[in-house]
Structure 1
Amino acid sequence: MKELTKAEEQVMQILWELKEANVREVVSNFPDPKPAYTTVATVMNALEKKGFADKIPAGKSHLFAVKISKEDYSGFKAGALVKNYFNGSFSRMASFFAKDNKLSIQELEEMIKIAKEQIEKEK
């Protein structure tokens, strides 16, 4: 799985919420000031090329449908975080977040579960 740019992630957050949408619908879901239609269209086409969305013909326009779930991408990002910043050590990650961010035990356990699942998928 490829990592999303900041702009791609902003568009995907909206697309994950809508499940499928055309460019105009995505633009309308951005807070003001809204990005240009052409900018969002370019990002959505990049998301299709990266495999995050399917482009479906719909009359004179296209719909973009989510292809990779938010949960799958979150797991990928959590696994990369553990691998890249904590040398693959879940205990180091948990210790860091417990000390610096005051997360609950349940939140730490969920993070560890997601990260482990993603690392297993990458093997």
Structure 2
Amino acid sequence: MELIGPLQVKVMHHIWSRGPSTVHDVHDELMADPQAKRLAYTTILTVMRNLARRGFLDQAPDGRAHRFSAKVDETTYKRELLHVVRTEVFRGDLRSLLDAVASDSGLTPEQQNQVRGLIVAAG
């Protein structure tokens, strides 16, 4: 499975959480975030068409618009992404992967301790 970029992941998160959606639906939700980068409707249209072409979304006519639905579920994508990270980036070294997660500055101290507990449990 191919990996997808950050904007594509945002689109997929919308589809995974909301179900089949039009470009208008996705664009409106993404633009509802006041801190989001302003994106043209046509940008989201292109992203969604590319995701359909790459096998992540199905596209079906819905009146004058098209409704896109997920062909790849969220759990499957996450599993494949972690497989690539573990095998390609960390060369199969689970401890190094967990060390990197534990040192993520975005985690709370409690979350870091939970990850360190996993490292100890993994040996």
Change (3 A) 1:106 1:70: farther
Secondary structure in 2 matching 1:94? helix
Which structure 2 residues correspond to residues 4-43 of structure 1 after superposition, within 5 A? Answer: 4-30=4-30, 31-32=33-34, 34-43=38-47
1:83: Cα distance to partner?
A: 1.1
Secondary structure in 1 matching 2:15? helix
- Give the counterpart letter for 2:66 in structure 1: H
- Give the counterpart letter for 2:97 in structure 1: M
Q: Provide the rounded CA distance (Å) in 2 between the counterparts of 1:5 and 1:105.
A: 26
Deviations 1:89-122 (A, max 9, x none): 2233234434x2425159948xx9xxxxxxxxxx
Deviations 1:3-23 (A, max 9, x none): 102221121121211111000
Give the structure-1-normalised TM-score.
0.76
Asked if structure 2 preserves the Cα contact closer than 8 Å seen for 1:27 and 1:34, the reply is no
RMSD: 2.4
User: Which residue matches 1:67?
Assistant: 71
Which of 69, 76, 88 aligns to 1:84? It is 88
User: Which residue matches 1:117?
Assistant: none
- Give the counterpart letter for 1:24 in structure 2: H
Change (3 A) 1:26 1:4: same
- Give the counterpart letter for 1:66 in structure 2: A
Identity of aligned residues (%): 25
Q: Which consecutive unaligned segments of at least 5 residues does structure 1 have? A: 113-123
Q: Which consecutive unaligned segments of at least 5 residues does structure 2 have? A: 105-111
Change (3 A) 1:5 1:91: same
What is the aligned residue count?
109
